[in-house]
Amino acid sequence: MNTRLLPIIVSHEFPGSDVTGDILEFVKAMDAYKRRYKRRFPAWSEALYVLRTLGYAKCVPGAAVAEVPPDPVTERSAP
């Protein structure tokens, strides 16, 4: 059996790869929530609950998905 290993290429340049303090805070809060309630894959409603406990709230009326402006990070990385 041929077990030739392929080289692993790691790229840190992809949309969302720049982890900000807000992102890290949310990730830690979700991790704590999953451990506390033994939820390996929480539902979106649970993620929204965690966001709200962190103080996030909608401040403008919601837009349809097609109307959401593009993410500047994604647009910057696009070819």
In contact, 73 and 16? CB cutoff 8 Å: yes
Residue ranges covered by each domain of the chain: 20-55
pTM for the model: 0.59
Which is nearest to 54 in space by CA: 76, 22, 77, 8? 22
Query: Residue 38 is which amino acid?
Result: K
Question: What does the pLDDT read at residue 61?
Answer: 75
Query: Residue 21 is which amino acid?
Result: G
20-71 pLDDT, tens digit per residue, is 888 889 999 999 999 999 999 999 999 999 999 999 998 877 766 666 666 6
Alpha carbon separation from 26 to 7, 9, 13, 63 (Å, rounded): 33, 28, 21, 23
